[in-house]
Structure 1
Amino acid sequence: MSEPVYDEIFKKLVKSSYRGNMAEEIEKIRQNGDEHTDEYIKYASGEGDPNRVVFKVKDCHKDCNLNREDNCEASCLFNAIVRDMEGNVVIKQNNCSGCGKCVEVCRHYSLVDKKEFVPLIELLKNRKVPVFAIVAPAFIGQFGPEVSPGKMRAALKRLGFYGMVEVALFADILTLKEALEFDRHVTKAKDFLLTSCCCPIWVSMVKRVYQDLIPHISPSVSPMVACGRGVKHLHPGAKVVFIGPCIAKKAEAKEPDVSDAVDAVLTFQEVKQIFEAVAINPETMEEDESEHSSTAGRIYAHTGGVSRAVAETLNRLRPQKEIKIRAIQADGVKDCREMLKNILDDKIEANFLEGMGCSGGCVGGPKALIDAGAGRDFVEKYGQEAPSRTPVDNKYVMKLLEQLGIKNVEDFLDGEKAKMFTRNFQ
């Protein structure tokens, strides 16, 4: 099966940009293209409305509305996809969350998510501004079983990145905060907390559809935002690029209250295409540095990981707390909807609720490179290899927190001191 035109154009733009002849390459692409080529070039090169993620390139095949598996209208969680009188797709921008579910199901490439890498290439080539790659906990195993974190870091440095940071290290930090938030908010049998450290689709569902539950959502940023802010605090003037399996992270990075954290988002599929375009094979790279995250942060990548991490950390921080975490997880959008509805109907007995918009969690994301089951296995193995079980036991986490102005874990409950890790959903 040949590579989709949009991805093929993206790879050509990446290759020519590194070579310094992108204008000539664009002209070649146009000569061999069709009436939609200019639109593909536009979004593959990172142009278009900077506040949007999903774009319509062409009117879609009329037969797709007969098959719910590739029906963008049915897939949309927020009623942002409608059809005009002729049956063509229209995106209602006021409703669109940028979650990318419609892109995920559109097999005709009528809808695409903008690729954000090409505008970074000059920065990566001239190296005058440090650009950090921060990688989602789901990355382990995605680029091949032999690609260790050290090899991945070396490959990204070959592209021009100044360094690579595992978001799992900041998932450790958020685990501490979530445990303390649970301790503060859950003091009676009927109290409960919705974690905000999972997926942007889950958070968007609460914010947009189930607003009555907003007072129960943890006031924490996501690990991606925490990591981006942490890197910029330690390296003023740096740029930060998040790499993960999710289109929705592109939208989260643009939300006004957290847009300071991350400058661009790449998916695993895009990074694979970039490596192919410039002939970098991560498997052949030499090891570059070691990792410092604990088991807790590493297992965020699959459903149930956040709950397990926070529960174990709470037991380390507050072993005397009488009300223990009774967690329940929603696995996929359908489960998330059902669980949120059940909470409102008082049908849930759990007190810590975790939702993942993709089946399996982040390892099942639309832009993952391997099967969700295999991804979970890699994540679990990597989690067990961590030198510490929880962030409480992780000396690197404590040292990092000091550098970020957090002198002890209780500071997470101080609004000013924990500002970079706090989000107001009200």
Structure 2
Amino acid sequence: MVKLTYDQIFKDLVKSAYEGKLDEGIEKLKKQGNGDVEQYIHYATGGGDPGKVVFKVKECSCGCEEEGCQVSCLMEAIERDENGNVIIKGSLCSDCGQCVGVCKHDCLVDKKEFIPLVEVLKNRKVPVYAIIAPSFIGQFGPAVTPGQVRAALKRLGFYGMVEVALFADILTFREALEFDAHVQKEGDFVLTSMCCPMWVSMVKKVYTKLAPHITPSVSPMVACGRAVKKLHPDAKVVFIGPCIAKKAEAKEPDVRDAVDVVITFKELKQIFEAVGINPAEMEADEKEHSSTGGRIYARTGGVSKAVADTLKRIRPDKEIQIKAVQAHGVKECKQMLQDALDGKINANFYEGMGCVGGCVGGPHVLIDPAQGTEFVNRYGEEAASLTPADNRYVLALLKSLGFEEIEDLFDEEKAKIFSRNFPKGV
């Protein structure tokens, strides 16, 4: 028997699915693999509890307690029983995937959602759009352009690719308007709800007394997915990013209408390799319309800068401008939220990113986070517009979605597509 890794099994199954031989591929893997193969196949093909993302495949007493999954989980959702085996406490688990990243023995895995989509992509009867996170730039090679990534995705069977940065631009307007409305005097503050499901999960599950301060915007992923489906009602939407936690966010009851499937950069690289696609060799299909602000959401401080720049642009006379503070990594985020809970208010705009460096430090990135930040900053500098207020593409997109004025984004009825309800605290 051959000891097959979870990643190897996923890659082999993708190849078999594109060749129209998935059943044969599954049987072949079962015959050549060890005793864990059937479990791996189950989760690699989208099996398991539909509401969960992280699964324990087998018991683990591997002696990695000092550097393993329990230490990596700063939400304290992982315990060990008297035999040293892992127990995941679902009530605290944020599905961030940090434990999956450090598990060296494939005892913990995250569900793969791509393979059930292959037949849809192959027959092309239903348009499937890829929406890709702002942190994608540079992930598939330093010289690979957004247009080449788009062309590679079209080769896989996607109808098109939309940069989520474009919807980060739209939500920047929303956040600026929220700040304008809610921060009227010294001591007022907001917690941005943008981007990071781990940050939102911390507020919802642990720091619930701060919930009244969280802005009611959906993430750029959800905004993009909903907009695509509003403009193309029969479409399916696949989000591509660095984050395992996005798989859980897409399943949350109040936003699960937006995105059908989530895959990570690491998974997409494996998919490209399985079917023999090299983005660097593709003829570019360039269509880039996002602003600097939307593009830099991928790194720590990007949301704060984007919203601050936009507020100055649309509310230049507002007395209180944004004084932001950021935290990245769960440990820093928890400390910043605890300080706010304790009344140690030293800012009026709080930004939290669960991964160190922001999304460029996600568990399934392909390059070093520092290098990812450089690519993101450079891509931001290349944008034709600093803020969405100066971006004619953003303004035209808003009109196509029914927003005649920027202020319509603050209209409760009109802006449902970009809004969600958070608990009001305890």
The match for 2:243 among 227, 246, 257 is 246
Is 1:360 the counterpart of 2:327? The answer is no
Match of 2:99 in 1: 102
CA offsets per residue over residues 101-155 of structure 1, 9 Å max, x none?
2212211110000011000000000001100000000000000011101000000
Task: Work out whether residues 61 and 108 of structure 1, in 8 Å CA contact, stay in contact via their aligned partners in 2.
Answer: no
Match of 1:330 in 2: 327
CA distance in 2, matches of 1:212, 1:101: 26
Match of 1:51 in 2: 51
CA distance in 1, matches of 2:75, 2:321: 35
CA distance in 1, matches of 2:61, 2:364: 23
CA distance in 1, matches of 2:214, 2:367: 31
- AA in 1 matched with 2:21: N
Q: Where in structure 1 are there 5+ consecutive unaligned residues? A: none
The match for 1:344 among 298, 318, 341 is 341
Match of 2:207 in 1: 210
Is 1:92 the counterpart of 2:89? The answer is yes
CA offsets per residue over residues 341-366 of structure 1, 9 Å max, x none?
11112223110010011110000111
CA offsets per residue over residues 249-292 of structure 1, 9 Å max, x none?
00100000000000010000000000000000000100113210
Change in CA separation of 1:31 and 1:3 when aligned onto 2, cut-off 3 Å: closer
Report the secondary structure of 1:63's partner residue. Answer: coil
CA distance in 1, matches of 2:194, 2:81: 37
Q: 1:332: how far off?
A: 1.0
- AA in 1 matched with 2:63: D
CA offsets per residue over residues 228-258 of structure 1, 9 Å max, x none?
0000000011100000001010010000000
Match of 2:389 in 1: 392
1:24-35 alignment, distance < 5 Å: 24-35=24-35
- AA in 1 matched with 2:216: P
Match of 2:417 in 1: 420
Q: 1:407: how far off?
A: 1.1
- AA in 1 matched with 2:51: N
- AA in 2 matched with 1:290: K
CA offsets per residue over residues 2-61 of structure 1, 9 Å max, x none?
997100000100000000111111111111111111000111111111111011111113
1:236-275 alignment, distance < 5 Å: 236-275=233-272
Is 1:38 the counterpart of 2:38? The answer is yes
Q: Where in structure 2 are there 5+ consecutive unaligned residues? A: none
Report the secondary structure of 1:376's partner residue. Answer: helix
Q: 1:92: how far off?
A: 2.8
- AA in 2 matched with 1:122: E
CA offsets per residue over residues 389-411 of structure 1, 9 Å max, x none?
10000011111111111111111
CA distance in 2, matches of 1:253, 1:316: 32
Q: 1:377: how far off?
A: 0.5
1:228-239 alignment, distance < 5 Å: 228-239=225-236
CA distance in 2, matches of 1:105, 1:316: 43
Identity value in percent? 68
TM-score by length of 1: 0.97
CA distance in 2, matches of 1:42, 1:407: 48
The match for 1:282 among 279, 282, 298 is 279
- AA in 2 matched with 1:375: G
CA distance in 1, matches of 2:33, 2:300: 42
Task: Work out whether residues 198 and 354 of structure 1, in 8 Å CA contact, stay in contact via their aligned partners in 2.
Answer: no
Is 1:295 the counterpart of 2:292? The answer is yes
Match of 2:374 in 1: 377
Report the secondary structure of 2:305's partner residue. Answer: helix
CA distance in 1, matches of 2:371, 2:87: 37
CA distance in 2, matches of 1:354, 1:362: 13
Match of 1:404 in 2: 401
Match of 2:20 in 1: 20
TM-score by length of 2: 0.97
- AA in 1 matched with 2:397: L
CA distance in 2, matches of 1:3, 1:205: 37
Task: Work out whether residues 198 and 355 of structure 1, in 8 Å CA contact, stay in contact via their aligned partners in 2.
Answer: no
CA distance in 2, matches of 1:133, 1:50: 21
CA RMSD across the alignment: 1.3
Match of 1:225 in 2: 222
CA distance in 1, matches of 2:228, 2:4: 35
- AA in 2 matched with 1:36: D
Task: Work out whether residues 16 and 22 of structure 1, in 8 Å CA contact, stay in contact via their aligned partners in 2.
Answer: yes
CA distance in 1, matches of 2:292, 2:77: 38
Q: 1:80: how far off?
A: 2.8
- AA in 1 matched with 2:14: V
CA distance in 2, matches of 1:36, 1:164: 36
CA distance in 2, matches of 1:174, 1:41: 38
1:98-247 alignment, distance < 5 Å: 98-247=95-244
CA distance in 2, matches of 1:334, 1:50: 29
CA distance in 2, matches of 1:189, 1:4: 58
Report the secondary structure of 1:353's partner residue. Answer: strand
CA distance in 2, matches of 1:253, 1:392: 29
Report the secondary structure of 1:373's partner residue. Answer: helix
Report the secondary structure of 1:212's partner residue. Answer: helix
Report the secondary structure of 2:193's partner residue. Answer: coil
CA distance in 2, matches of 1:262, 1:4: 31
